[in-house]
Amino acid sequence: MPQLVIVTPALRDANNGNWQTARRWQHLLQDRYYVRLVKQWPTSLSCSDNAMIALHARRSAESVAAWARAYPDRGLAVVLTGTDLYRDIAVDESARRSLQLASELVVLQEAGPAALPQALQPTCRVIYQSTTARKTLTKASRLLRAVMVGHLREEKSPETLFAAARLLADQPHIRIDHIGEALDPALGAAAQATMAAAPNYRWLGGLAHEETRRRIQRAHLLVHCSRMEGGAHVIMEAVASGTPVLASKIDGNIGMLGADYDGYFPWGDATALAALLRDCHDSRRPQHGDGLLETLMRQCARRAPLFAPEAERAALRRLASDLLKGR
């Protein structure tokens, strides 16, 4: 079988979105290709690689440049993350160089191509990530349970959730769980302080992926506060579990949930997020009829087919086939 190499800045020990994407793509392609995952290229097995898929234009820039020097006629795909699209390609020369060296550019949500230089937009393809569908679980009837999933770091804007939780501290019927390691110790300290100030907020730290998915299934809502995203893995996991999303109104989230989605709040606006949580809780009362929470559930259900494994597998197979044709 042809050998593909996927360069990923994170391997199993990181347990983050880059690792999950790389491992899933290896699994989806392994029936037709031998796929190996590396953090840096070249390695001792590089002479047998027929094509490269590099996750992250900046963080994989050295591997991208090495491939282009060694195999200028072989296919090279660069997959752009949120930090690539919405920060690095504007300020980092190595990230911009990766765009020029690639024979294929890939983004993970439909708003992504618009962030690229205009000359490159027509050649960029969208591949939505996928996850297995989960049964929608019966939700608690007297409480509204919301969950935020993401390591505590600047890009995920956990401060917005902290502030919203404090605004809702007198609302015991709205419970907020927060899953993620404190990659920034100061944000970990802020989470601890929020628990002391807002008894309906719990920071659970890092949890195993399966346990995280079960908590998403049991929640009424996923909260996603990020300042930049390339196509958040956790959004598709929520949608595939029948759990609607409240998300910051940034391009990366709009590209996942659609421009007409009703669950957005302005990035960094804790007051707006708290108001949406209240509205979702209140809309569950019988006198409200078909309220906001039901509307968000319907809208997410319409997006769910985009995140089906068979759709991602077909798109990846087309990408691999095109890469193996060479430049």
Per-residue pLDDT, 14: 56
Q: Is 158 in the same domain as 94?
A: no
Q: What is the 3 state secondary structure string of 245-297?
A: EEEECCHHHHHHHCCCCCCEECCCCHHHHHHHHHHHHHCCCHHHCCCHHHHHH
Question: pLDDT confidence of 141, banded at 50, 70, 90?
Answer: confident
Residue 289 has pLDDT above 60, yes or no: no
Helix (H, G, I), strand (E, B) or coil at 186: helix
Q: Is 125 in the same domain as 151?
A: no
- Does any domain span residue 123? yes
CATH number at 84 reads: 3.40.50.2000
Q: How confident is the model over 157-182, as a mean pLDDT?
A: 97
- Does any domain span residue 136? no
Per-residue pLDDT, 107: 97
Q: Is 270 in the same domain as 177?
A: yes
- Does any domain span residue 135? no
87-96 pLDDT, tens digit per residue, is 999 999 999 9
30-49 pLDDT, tens digit per residue, is 999 999 999 999 999 999 99
Per-residue pLDDT, 16: 66
Domain of residue 45: give its range.
3-130+308-324
Per-residue pLDDT, 12: 66
Lateral strand order in the sheet of 245-248: 201-205, 174-179, 144-149, 221-224, 245-248, 264-265
Q: Is 123 in the same domain as 166?
A: no
Q: Is 150 in the same domain as 283?
A: yes
Q: How confident is the model over 204-209, as a mean pLDDT?
A: 94
Q: Is 253 in the same domain as 233?
A: yes
- Does any domain span residue 313? yes
Question: What's the length of the chain?
Answer: 327
Q: Which amino acid is at 282?
A: D
Q: Of 119-123, 155-159, 221-225, give the lowest mean pLDDT range.
A: 119-123
Q: Is 15 in the same domain as 92?
A: yes
- Does any domain span residue 138? no
Q: Report whether 108 contacts 84 (CB < 8 A).
A: no
For the chain, the domain total comes to 2
Q: Is 153 in the same domain as 281?
A: yes
Q: Is 301 in the same domain as 319?
A: no
Q: Report whether 220 contacts 146 (CB < 8 A).
A: yes
- Does any domain span residue 55? yes
Q: Is 277 in the same domain as 190?
A: yes
Whole-number Å distance between alpha carbons of 248 and 164:
13
Q: Is 299 in the same domain as 230?
A: yes
Q: How confident is the model over 309-325, as a mean pLDDT?
A: 97
Q: Is 257 in the same domain as 114?
A: no
- Does any domain span residue 110? yes
- Does any domain span residue 80? yes
Per-residue pLDDT, 20: 83
